[in-house]
Homo-oligomer: A and B are copies of this chain.
Amino acid sequence: MITIEIRKELKSGVIELAILALLVRREMYGYELSQKILDLSSGQIEVKEGTLYPILYRLEERGIITSRWQAPLGRGKPRKYYYVTGKGRQYFAGYRKEWNVVVEFMCKILE
């Protein structure tokens, strides 16, 4: 498996959609999200901290997700768990449709 660096222009928008796709299924905390995305992409899509947290804050500010602090069962730093609101689920559905339009278009243009 050869890992190539994905240019940030291609990540634009996609990372937010990916985060929402994960949070729609179950609540997760920031660090967990970044690791999950790295895993699911076989190490090819890395979400930097300076990207991840600002995305979570703006989504929360817009009422798309909410959060709660939770101390881990064992020891360690407290974690901030995020989950998608009702409004957020609608937002996600629309976002997903736009993504599908883009993908269909690109499939056509790339043969």
Contact = CB atoms under 8 A, between A and B. Distances in A.
Interface residues of A, number: 34
A11 B105 contact: no
The interface residues of chain A, by DSSP majority, are classed as helix
A1 to B, nearest CB: 11
B11 A44 contact: no
Interface stretch (A2-10, A60-68, A70-78, A80-88): A2-10
Contact of A9 (B12, B21, B94, B96): B12
Interface in A25-63: 37, 40-41, 44-45
A22 B109 CA distance: 7
A106 B11 CA distance: 11
Contacts of A108: 40-41
B12 A102 contact: no
Given A18-B109, A96-B110, A109-B21, A101 B13 contact: no
